[in-house]
Amino acid sequence: MAIDKIWVLAEAGDGGPTPITSELLTEARGIASTVEAVTWGPDTTSLAAGLGEFGATTVYDVGDLAGSLPGAPVAAAIAALIEGGNAPDALLIPATYDGRDVAGRLSVRLDRPVLTNVTGLGTDGGLTTQHPVFGGSLIVTARFTGEGPGIYVIRAKSFVAEPSGGPPANVVAAPAPNTGATGAAKVVERHQEERTGPKLDEAAVVVSGGRGLGSAENYALIEELAKLLNGAAGASRAIVDAGWVPYSHQVGQTGKTVKPTVYLACGISGATQHLVGMKGSKNIVAVNKDQDAPIFSVADLGIVGDALKVLPALIEALKSLG
């Protein structure tokens, strides 16, 4: 089946499309002759310029959701477009909090499965997908067997965003039909967490800590080092599960995917769950007491030692460099 038209679920970020939205639009442009976007929110008109910049010709606007979580209304709006005869061959959805909600609900509405955790796309008589398994040591290639459109949930940083310099996308209203009980979850208040440094998934330097830190208090070393390097502080799932740091710091299969210039893994053994989220980093430095820790198999520089000794010394050395 030829892939002529792709829709990208577009999310608004600071002053334009989110980075993953631009990545998906760029990739879609390389595969299909027509790339269109679906979005929601109070101000799609200004977002349309950014979407056009990355190659979307049209943006279907579900509109302001009046506080409803996006999953149900956006999926209902997309299903209504498709049932009305306007169907893409594939729908690319960012692996974000809201993106996965939309994908799950749309899957039921269209009675089609979802291919998730996609990190690469190919064309071989239709779209094929790549998925890392077992910490990225194996790559599985998959495809849909049924009728389109296929629903694909794609991880951040799978593709490199490049603007096409296109004109603003044409905004077409696509309001959600009544979603009944399914749309009843409402946001009553939003809270922005204070963040001093760069975002975890956009930082050039990421310093992450794991169980080897010994206790929650020692995570302060990770934060201090991250700050000194103008980077972001990450964490392994083990210490998020243990309640040392919030989930928003988690790097890995069930957390964020990062691809910084350098990733410093401190006291992290390198479970497959973690490796899949950071293996794409340009340079990897690992500090761990256990010389057989799997993290060393991906490290460019590995220090077999106690993170609680190496980190304070590293912090001092960086401070003395000014």
Site for another protein in 150-169 (CB under 8 A): 153
Using CB under 8 A as the binding rule, the residues of this chain from 72 to 101 that contact another protein are 72, 75, 95-97, 100-101
Residue 177 C-beta: closest distance to another protein, Å: 14
Q: How far is the CB of 60 from another protein (least distance, A)?
A: 20
Of 165 and 180, which CB lies nearer to another protein in the complex structure?
A: 180
* Closest to 134 measured CA to CA, from 294, 293, 300: 294
Q: How many CB atoms lie within 10 A of CB 313?
A: 10
Q: Number of residues in contact with another protein, rule: CB under 8 A?
A: 100
Q: Is 15 in the site for another protein (CB under 8 A)?
A: no
Q: What residues between 160 and 219 interact with another protein by CB under 8 A?
A: 180-193, 195, 204-205
Q: Verify binding: residue 298, another protein, rule CB under 8 A.
A: yes
Could you tell me the smallest distance in angstroms from the CB atom of residue 57 to another protein? 27
CB of 210 to another protein, least distance (A): 14
For residue 201, give every residue at least 6 positions away whose Cβ sits within 8 Å of its Cβ, in sequence order, or none. 19, 156, 157, 256, 257, 258
Least distance in Å: CB of 127 to another protein? 11
Q: Does 126 bind another protein (CB under 8 A)?
A: no
124 three-class SS? coil
Per-residue CA distances from 265 to 226, 258, 271, 285, 301 (Å): 11, 12, 12, 6, 11
Burial track 17-26 (b if 16+ CB lie within 10 A, e otherwise): bbbbbbbbbb
Q: Which is nearer to another protein, 55 or 73 (CB)?
A: 73
Q: What does the alpha-carbon distance between residue 280 and residue 135 come to, in Å, rounded to a whole number? A: 11
Helix H or strand E segment including 272: helix 272-278
Find the binder of another protein among 2, 140, 160, 220 (CB under 8 A).
140
Q: What whole-number distance in Å separates Cα of residue 216 and Cα of residue 205?
A: 22
115 binds another protein (CB under 8 A): yes
Residue type, 86: N
Span of 26-34, 165-173, 210-218, 266-274 interacting with another protein by CB under 8 A: 266-274
Residue type, 149: P
Output 163 or 282, the one with its CB closest to another protein: 282
Interatomic CA distance for residues 317 and 311, integer angstroms = 10
Distance, in Å, from the CA atom of 284 to the CA atom of 299, rounded to the nearest integer, reads 5
Residues 22-61, one symbol each (x = binds another protein by CB under 8 A, - = not), give ----------------------------------------
Dihedral sign computed on CA atoms, order 68, 74, 79, 84: positive
Q: Can you tell me which of 33, 214, 242, 319 binds another protein, judged by CB under 8 A?
A: 242
How many angstroms separate the CA atoms of 11 and 37, rounded?
10
Verify binding: residue 105, another protein, rule CB under 8 A: yes
Using the rule CB under 8 A, give the single segment among 22-30, 31-39, 41-49, 132-140 that binds another protein. Answer: 132-140
Minimum distance, C-beta of residue 131 to another protein, in the bound complex (Å) = 9
Q: Kindly indicate which of the ranges 37-45, 54-62, 80-88, 109-117 contains the residues binding another protein, using the contact rule CB under 8 A.
A: 109-117
